[in-house]
Structure 1
Amino acid sequence: MGKVGLTELVLRDAHQSLLATRMRTEDMLPIAEKLDQVGYWALEMWGGATFDVPIRYLNEDPWERLRQLREAMPNSKLMMLERAMNIVAYRNFPDDIVRKFIYYAKKNGIDVFRIFDAVNDLRNMKVPMEAVKEVGGHVQASVCYTISPIHTVEYYVETMLQLEKMGADSICIKDMAGMISPPRAYNIIKGYIEAGGKLPVDLHAHFTSGMTGMAYMRAVEAGAAVLDTDISPLSGGTAHPPTESVVAALKGTEWDTEYDINLLMEIREYFRKVFLKYRHLIRLEALKVDPSIVVHQIPGGMMSNLVAQLEQQGAIDKLDAVLQEVPRVREELGYPPLVTPTSQVVGVQAVMNVLFGRYKMIPQETKDYVKGMYGRPPGEIKPEIYEKVLGPDWKDQIIDCRPADLLEPEWDRRKKELEEMGLLRKEEDVLTYAIYPQVGLKFLKGEAVPEFTSDQLPLPYDHPATRAFVKSFFPEYKEVYLEIEPPEARKVAPAIPTEFEVEVDGELYEVKVNPKGGFMVASGAPAGEEERPKEVEGGLKSPMQGTILKIKVKEGEGVSEGDVVATIEAMKMEQEIATERAGTVKKIFVKEGDVISAGDVIMQIL
């Protein structure tokens, strides 16, 4: 027993949960000194999506963020979330890339490496855990929490004991959906300790179900040493319990954190202002408690993805059917925890099953998962599912080794490629490029463009009533206008109304909006681009909206029924398009990189 420590998540998982991971380094550094004074068990500030998003959307170098925060918080243990052999991405990487990443993460300032594998395949955690120990880091080995007939209290206790034997320094129970109940939290932690477990246990749970505060209390009663929290402006909902509330709840008990509540209130006030800067990213649903998750078991992030995917395909009316299909697919795929990347595999397959018929369309990622390329599925996959996904020769496609054992080393090749392009400025750039080849290359070339924040977006103007209305919702309202192209580039003035009648407290006001800058309104296809036909004899149509990744045939080439002629990216997954007839490719209507709609004719085969 004894006092409980907290891992503060405001610099990583909190804004990943509520603000789409968009918080900038410039908003972290001013408060770093105060965060460093609290005495947290650890400060999570790197890993997860905070590697991808900065180079993709913020034009920031994640390595530079790490170095700056390390310098600004010399007294705190800095933590990162590391996805085992996926590192900070969505595919397996070879051992040499994993080891290099761990080495440079430690060199630049990470102390604690929270390592997890999406399917709890401990083979995937072995190399990153060894690499952390070799560089003198702290291994916090995680077990992903979910609910299924397989995932019993005994399952978790045994997995935690195995992680201890593998050399972990502490254990994390990672509940990404916020489903852990107070009794389960107590029984798992108590069971681990009574079975001889000696490592500190950290409970990480999102607030989604509303049970997490109660689960945290039972966890410390069972012997948990650490809890994960967020400073309150970025807490609750799909994020985590508020730091200040947990500190207050434990005050005066044997688990008292002994943190200065007044200092936490100063930090809270700072992040309240930061929250306003990113208010345009807030989804009301993300701030709410959703007890229905204990029934459908779909994490908040996965739910928003399902909605977005159905909207993209013009099928939002199928949401209820998809929600019923998700648990069915999850069972058929061996009950994987619904965490990145397996949540995407299950979710997209459920959407495709509803839209096109069960297992009529199968993304490459589903095939890879079933083959074992993500690791060993937690439960049994029945032979009929194997055959539906992989075909009659499915037994020859299953792997029983660690997936990364099949991968060739990449470091030397990636480094040489970067050198030949003249883009190698530091060794860490090789990792940025290796992990995210396309996005990383664009960033390293200096072609990335940062997104706007709320105070840079255009707002209504030119009438006292309008201005007062806006200020009531946006206290830091600024008269800022978004210019997306020079006026001389505009060929046609946008046909946007500029005069409105606005009712405020029962009074009608005439409001005139004077555009300064503005937006082009595009109509029809760009000049010179041939419109794709919807109907043509022998036309092969796209079954869904997506982006053309690869055209695998040429005009004049002969094809047989069932041949794969194109690959599209839809719902963040690759989908092969096969021809239903034999013949000759007469005309191709698309090129790689084109965005297509459902029903667009890709090519003509006669």
Structure 2
Amino acid sequence: MSREIKFSLLYRDMWQSSGKYVPRVDQLTKVAPHIVEMGCFDRVETNGGGFEQINLLFGENPNKAVREWTKPFHEAGIKTHMLERALNGIRMTPVPADVRRLFFKVKKAQGTDIARSFCGLNDPRNLENSIKFAKEAGMISQAALSITYSPVHTVEYYVDLAEKLIKMGADEICVKDMAGIGRPVWLGKIVKGIKKNHPDIIIQYHSHSGPGFAPASILEVAKAGADIIDVAMEPLSWGTGHVDILTIHEMLRDAGFKVPDINMKAYMKVRELTQEFIDDFLGLYINPKNRFMNSLLIGPGLPGGMMGSLMADLENNLKSLNKWKVKHNEAELTQDDLLIKLFDEVAYAWPKLGYPPLVTPYSQYVKNVALMNVMQMEKGQERWSMIPDSVWDMILGKTGQVPGKLAPEIIALAKEQGREFFTGIPQNEYPDALEDFKKEMDEKGWDYGQDDEELFELAMHPEQYRAYKSGKAKEDFEADLKAKKEALAAESAPAVPSTAPAMDTTPKQMMVSVDGEQFNVTVSYGNSTGSAAVQEVKKEEAPTAVAASAQGSAAITSPLEGKFYLVKNAGDKAVKVGDKINEGDLVGYVEAMKTMNAIKADVSGTVVEICFDNGSDVEEDDVLFKLA
């Protein structure tokens, strides 16, 4: 009898690999019964990763969403699984151990069966608690190997890592090929090596389709002994997402494997509803280029799961960079120009940062540093001039050990800045914090929620949860959605013939300022060329600047576009008006590309004005602080 292969539908990851958001809970519960009717899924990925932060950004309760979304699958006997980032829980930064433990307890109570846990650095020390806490909560612990392809990531490296995780108590292994860059035969050897040592261990294979290797890789791992394959379906398969179940189903059946039948009527209904959600509003946050496979992704090895946010980041940073280019009379870049420069810089920077596996959050860290390098170099500045604290934590070993060697220039830069390398256990650097969050909830009169799930949300996502509770999150989302819809309507509106009166071509006198000097000029309109001619009449002295007082004689500006915060953590001390600031002092943060970027003063003085509220959107070169 032929060996059976089972399928898991990545309905959450389908959306996050394509764009910024996932469907609302009413949409999820609408599509769930039809996913069940398809009859071909042993498992469905329902939550984890950025899923719950997105609920909060909608102004939607994530706990309600998880409970209602997992329920129909439970009733049908389909297991649900979530994605968990080990030391980082389900956010981008490290999480205290007591919050991590509560996370598994809450998710099990809400209906999640399997915890897929991965460490972005493949450091077993970070996964040990994930395995322990999942099993304590009664969940199946599936430990993931974060697959990346480099000189230090060998077959032996991954087989040995799986061995360590199984000895720690992992019930299953996921071969998580998050960028789809694992070479097919090489992946087969990894699976075969694990199965040789542990024939009965369940191995689930996860891959993105972006670079094009995925179907061949799936066939190789299936032949080597993989038990479950992660798949997607139209209209969110292929491209930066995952392979479509129809292709993989036929390929594996033809290869002699036993695969479940697919109810095609239900498939088409899920396809129809998914497209309906895209048309409703989610498509406004999906870059059309994410629908295409791209072999250029082989080089940088960036995961499909971050490509949706990457294209949004590029769009925002391109605007910022081109503003600077125009201001300095330089040729503007296209998005493709910036994308290629970014991919080349990732390939350059990645080895120098010690080959961290390109998976969340370290794929974002490498990409962010590479993008900052490109932005700085395009402006004539040096590489490595903007490295966020979170990236330094990775470099210094505070979040785990990078698998490769750091470049001498990175080590030298750390020493130059007085940074010390860390060799201890990362979790010990992040003390328990639940009592502090309980105190905050008590003071504000907030309910801890069923199974302490509301307490958990505050502890895991403090800023987002506070914005959700205040209503600001929903307000900001609705304003952003309205702006996007208006922009789309304006783009698609037919051109209206101009009814403006003819331009007055009478010569005009005006003042023009050039490098602080004032020129009185006459602007006239030549009959022969139709273009404006500017003639200098006389040079005049610039008016004397008003002496700085409460307006400030110096300013600290934002080095990039993003959200401005005075502090990174709730207990940190914020800069306030009247504080004396010295050059080099940390004064705040700009959150961009899922990273908190430290802002340091480049001048000294006394703060006379803080120009933006906490959480405000800022653009590059916006004045954040005025100093006197």
Q: SS of the residue aligned with 2:299?
A: helix
C-alpha separation in 2, matches of 1:136 and 1:567: 39
Q: Match of 1:49? A: 50
C-alpha separation in 1, matches of 2:146 and 2:559: 35
CA spacing shift, 1:306–1:438, aligned 2, 3 Å: closer
Q: TM-score, normalised by structure 1?
A: 0.81
Choose from 266, 271, 282 the match for 2:286. Answer: 282
C-alpha separation in 1, matches of 2:359 and 2:216: 23
5 Å matches for 1:386-401?
Answer: 386-389=411-414, 391=416, 393-394=418-419, 397-401=420-424
CA spacing shift, 1:229–1:41, aligned 2, 3 Å: same
Q: Match of 2:60? A: 60
Question: Is it true that 1:443 corresponds to 2:468 in the alignment?
Answer: yes
Question: Retained in 1: the 8 A contact 2:555–2:623?
Answer: yes
Question: Retained in 2: the 8 A contact 1:306–1:347?
Answer: no
Q: SS of the residue aligned with 2:90?
A: coil
CA spacing shift, 1:199–1:604, aligned 2, 3 Å: same
How far residue 346 of structure 1 moved from its aligned partner, in angstroms, is 1.4
Say which structure, 1 or 2, has more relative contact order (CA 8 Å, 6+ apart): 2
Question: Retained in 1: the 8 A contact 2:576–2:610?
Answer: no
C-alpha separation in 2, matches of 1:280 and 1:591: 28
One-letter amino acid of the counterpart of residue 66, structure 1:
V
Q: Match of 2:98? A: 96
CA spacing shift, 1:392–1:71, aligned 2, 3 Å: closer
One-letter amino acid of the counterpart of residue 598, structure 1:
E
CA spacing shift, 1:254–1:429, aligned 2, 3 Å: same
Q: Match of 2:253? A: 251
5 Å matches for 1:400-439?
Answer: 400-426=423-449, 427-439=452-464
Question: Retained in 1: the 8 A contact 2:317–2:561?
Answer: no
CA spacing shift, 1:460–1:260, aligned 2, 3 Å: closer
Q: Match of 1:31? A: 31
Choose from 565, 584, 596 the match for 1:549. Answer: 565
CA spacing shift, 1:557–1:283, aligned 2, 3 Å: closer
- The aligned length equals 540
Choose from 337, 342, 352 the match for 1:332. Answer: 352
How far residue 536 of structure 1 moved from its aligned partner, in angstroms, is 8.6
Identity across the alignment (%): 27
How far residue 577 of structure 1 moved from its aligned partner, in angstroms, is 3.8
How far residue 595 of structure 1 moved from its aligned partner, in angstroms, is 4.5
C-alpha separation in 1, matches of 2:317 and 2:414: 22
How far residue 276 of structure 1 moved from its aligned partner, in angstroms, is 3.1
Per-residue deviation, residues 150-184 of structure 1 (Å, max 9, x unmatched): 11111111111222211111111111112122212
How far residue 358 of structure 1 moved from its aligned partner, in angstroms, is 1.7
C-alpha separation in 2, matches of 1:14 and 1:46: 12
Q: Match of 2:13? A: 13
One-letter amino acid of the counterpart of residue 338, structure 1:
L
How far residue 195 of structure 1 moved from its aligned partner, in angstroms, is 4.1
C-alpha separation in 1, matches of 2:373 and 2:488: 44
Q: Which runs of 5+ in 2 are unaligned?
A: 323-331, 500-547, 568-573
Q: Match of 1:520? A: none
Moved more, 28-37 or 149-158: 28-37
Q: Match of 2:496? A: 500
Question: Retained in 1: the 8 A contact 2:441–2:448?
Answer: no
C-alpha separation in 1, matches of 2:591 and 2:268: 46
Question: Retained in 2: the 8 A contact 1:387–1:393?
Answer: no
Q: Which runs of 5+ in 1 are unaligned?
A: 471-496, 503-509, 511-531
One-letter amino acid of the counterpart of residue 351, structure 1:
L
CA spacing shift, 1:603–1:392, aligned 2, 3 Å: closer
Q: SS of the residue aligned with 1:97?
A: helix
Question: Is it true that 1:343 corresponds to 2:359 in the alignment?
Answer: no
CA spacing shift, 1:428–1:581, aligned 2, 3 Å: closer
How far residue 501 of structure 1 moved from its aligned partner, in angstroms, is 6.0
How far residue 312 of structure 1 moved from its aligned partner, in angstroms, is 4.8
CA spacing shift, 1:575–1:47, aligned 2, 3 Å: closer
Q: Match of 2:519? A: none
Q: SS of the residue aligned with 2:431?
A: coil
Question: Retained in 1: the 8 A contact 2:611–2:626?
Answer: no
Question: Retained in 1: the 8 A contact 2:204–2:227?
Answer: yes
Q: TM-score, normalised by structure 2?
A: 0.78
CA spacing shift, 1:390–1:312, aligned 2, 3 Å: farther
CA spacing shift, 1:403–1:242, aligned 2, 3 Å: same
